[in-house]
Amino acid sequence: MSNLCYLTIRELLNKLKASEITSEEVTKAYLDRISELDKKINSYVTVDVEGALEQAREADKKRSNGDEGALLGVPLALKDLIVTKGLRTTCSSKILENFVPPYDAFVTKKLKEAGAVIIGKTNMDEFAMGSSSETSYFGAVRNPWNTDKIPGGSSGGSAAAVSANLCAGALGSDTGGSIRQPAALCGVVGLKPTYGRVSRFGLVAFASSLDQIGPMTKDVEDAAILMNAIAGHDPMDSTCANEPMPDYTADINKGVKGLKIGIPEEYFTAGLDGEIEKSVRDNIKFLEDDGAKVVPVSLPHTKYGVPTYYVLAPAEASSNLARYDGVRYGFRNKDSEGLADMYKNTRKDGFGAEVKRRIMLGTYALSSGYYDAYYLKAQKVRTLIKNDFVTAFKKVDVIVTPTTPTAAFGIGEKTDDPLEMYLSDILTINANIAGIPGISVPCGFTADGLPIGLQALGAYFDEASLLRVAKVVEQKAGVLAENPSL
């Protein structure tokens, strides 16, 4: 029954509603597929076999009693930094290897209320710090299209699981591109909502002013369906916006006629791979053919995004990760003599190299005498980057760019050079700095058969326009029907 695993969320819901299949059948099909194929991909840290089957049977019972929950019986996976009551949540770190949260994140609660089946927790870069999903304590994730390649990161497990049809859909989190970049490299749809659109309550914090949870799905409509379930105001997150909630599925088939689409030349510079540029430009032509007005825009501070991010994100991370001290939860080094030694040795043994690097960088940037030179300076450049977008969105509705400068690179290729790794987020990072929404949609393949992603960026809280653009690309590019062979 493996073909059940290829259904989109919408298709699955239709079959569940028509009583053609049960949630137990489809959940079992996914669990079988995971046990057969995930050893090649390593997309899951934890698979909740018993819990998933129990939730599925419960969903079937509810449906037979007339319940019509928006995601009733749909098996989903969550990135392993979204807390799940009673189900281990590790952030792919040794320091949280055995952490079992006593509560659900806001998004977990919303998905459960909608009737979703939480099938497991997906692998990721440790504490979401990375662009390749290689820094996980539980081993690297592999790209389903070519298992010698990285899947992108940090939500590489979610992207790979969706791409390899090991779940119906997933949630990821995006701090500098961690939803959109792996979505592009694995050939799935990934949406980073506006900062504040989705509650961060129960999202293990990396960089609190940049982090945002979003859907990673097989198609654009599924992303809209998951947004309907997870977005909205939550009083438990004081940065969660109290804005009206649209029905994100309402306008996705409206096309792009009348939309003004901006093309920033700063995103089509010399480092962009030629195949990617061609594919994205071809798709821009499709959008024009469909009635969009395409105009050039300028985002002059684009190149300062990565250096700004690598002050702000490590600074916030060094503060957020101070809580891992071996006292209240998580790993503890048990051979330490005194309290101070216990803190230091716990953090030495519990964190991986990249996490330590960022803690060091952030601590340095915030240390006495350096605050103005680094953190304050970066916050000021943040204003300039944000203003670039504010100015551009006075002229256009949506900005279209490539999601990544290259297709998936090789496992191990960039692990020795952090800066090279950081630069793979160069096209996604500014959306986080400005807080605007962005989507990546598959738009083609390289000659080597690796997926290419097109990114659409929107004005604050205008996810709806992004979904419209992505839907047109999805239809015109015609890559949706392709699946990796495993």
Partner 1 sequence: MKWQVPLRKRKQDAAGEAKRPVIGDRSQMSLSVDEVRRVATLAHLSLTDEDEKQFAVKLSGILDYIDQLSELDTSDVQPTSHSLEINNVFREDETKNTFGKETWQDNAPAKDHGHYTVPRVVEG
User: 66-76: string of b/e by CB count within 10 Å (b at 16+)?
Assistant: eeebbbbbbbb
Contact 35, 43 (CB under 8 A): no
CB nearer to partner 1: give 259 or 276.
Answer: 276
Minimum CB distance to partner 1, residue 44 (Å): 22
Q: Number of C-alpha atoms within 13 angstroms, CB side, residue 201?
A: 21
CB nearer to partner 1: give 104 or 474.
Answer: 104
Residues whose CB is less than 8 angstroms from the CB of residue 423 and which lie 6 or more positions away in sequence, other chains included: 271, 306, 405
User: 46-64: string of b/e by CB count within 10 Å (b at 16+)?
Assistant: bbbeebbbebbbbbbebbe
Residue 233 burial (10 A CB sphere; 0-12, 13-18, 19+): middle
CB nearer to partner 1: give 75 or 196.
Answer: 196
Instruction: Write the CA distances from 190 to 153, 182, 337, 431, integer angstroms.
Output: 12, 8, 47, 14
Scan residues 51-110 and list those touching partner 1 (CB under 8 A): 98-100, 102-103
| Strand pairing class (260-264; 213-217) | unpaired
CB nearer to partner 1: give 97 or 282.
Answer: 97
Member of 222, 460, 463, 466 binding partner 1 (CB under 8 A): 460
* Active-site choice (154, 199, 318, 424): 154
- Write the Ramachandran bin of 196: left for phi over 0, alpha for psi from -120 to 50, otherwise beta: left
Count of residues making up the chain: 486
Minimum CB distance to partner 1, residue 239 (Å): 6
Active site (annotated) includes residue 178: yes
CB nearer to partner 1: give 30 or 460.
Answer: 460
325 is a contact residue toward partner 1 (CB under 8 A): yes
Tell me which residue has tokens 């949609």. 441
Using CB under 8 A, count the residues that bind partner 1: 83
426 is a contact residue toward partner 1 (CB under 8 A): yes
Minimum CB distance to partner 1, residue 168 (Å): 29
Which of 478, 470, 483 lies closest to 220 in space, CA to CA? 470
Could you tell me which stretch among 35-43, 126-134, 158-166, 326-334 binds partner 1 (CB under 8 A)? 326-334
Which token pair is 435?
Answer: 């807080």
Q: Angle 9-17/23-41 helices, nearest 10 degrees?
A: 150
Minimum CB distance to partner 1, residue 334 (Å): 8
Scan residues 182-211 and list those touching partner 1 (CB under 8 A): 194-196, 209
CB nearer to partner 1: give 250 or 384.
Answer: 384
- Write the Ramachandran bin of 413: left for phi over 0, alpha for psi from -120 to 50, otherwise beta: alpha
Instruction: Write the CA distances from 307 to 81, 133, 153, 176, 267, integer angstroms.
Output: 25, 21, 19, 12, 16
CB nearer to partner 1: give 65 or 238.
Answer: 238
245 is a contact residue toward partner 1 (CB under 8 A): no
Here's the x/- map for partner 1, 337-376, by CB under 8 A: it reads as xxxxxxxxx-xx--x----xx-xxx-xx--x-xx-xxx-x
Q: What gap in Å lies between CA 399 and CA 297, rounded to an integer?
A: 8
Active site (annotated) includes residue 285: no
381 is a contact residue toward partner 1 (CB under 8 A): yes
* Active-site choice (23, 28, 43, 79): 79
Q: What gap in Å lies between CA 59 and CA 138, rounded to an integer?
A: 31
418 is a contact residue toward partner 1 (CB under 8 A): yes
CB nearer to partner 1: give 330 or 453.
Answer: 330
* Active-site choice (92, 155, 173, 178): 178
Active site (annotated) includes residue 79: yes
Three-state DSSP at 451 gives strand
382 is a contact residue toward partner 1 (CB under 8 A): yes
Here's the x/- map for partner 1, 251-290, by CB under 8 A: it reads as ------------------xxx-------------------
Minimum CB distance to partner 1, residue 213 (Å): 16
Minimum CB distance to partner 1, residue 460 (Å): 7
Minimum CB distance to partner 1, residue 96 (Å): 9
Scan residues 295-324 and list those touching partner 1 (CB under 8 A): 301, 303-304, 306-308, 310-311, 318, 322
Contact 90, 138 (CB under 8 A): yes
Residues marked active site are found at: 79, 154, 178
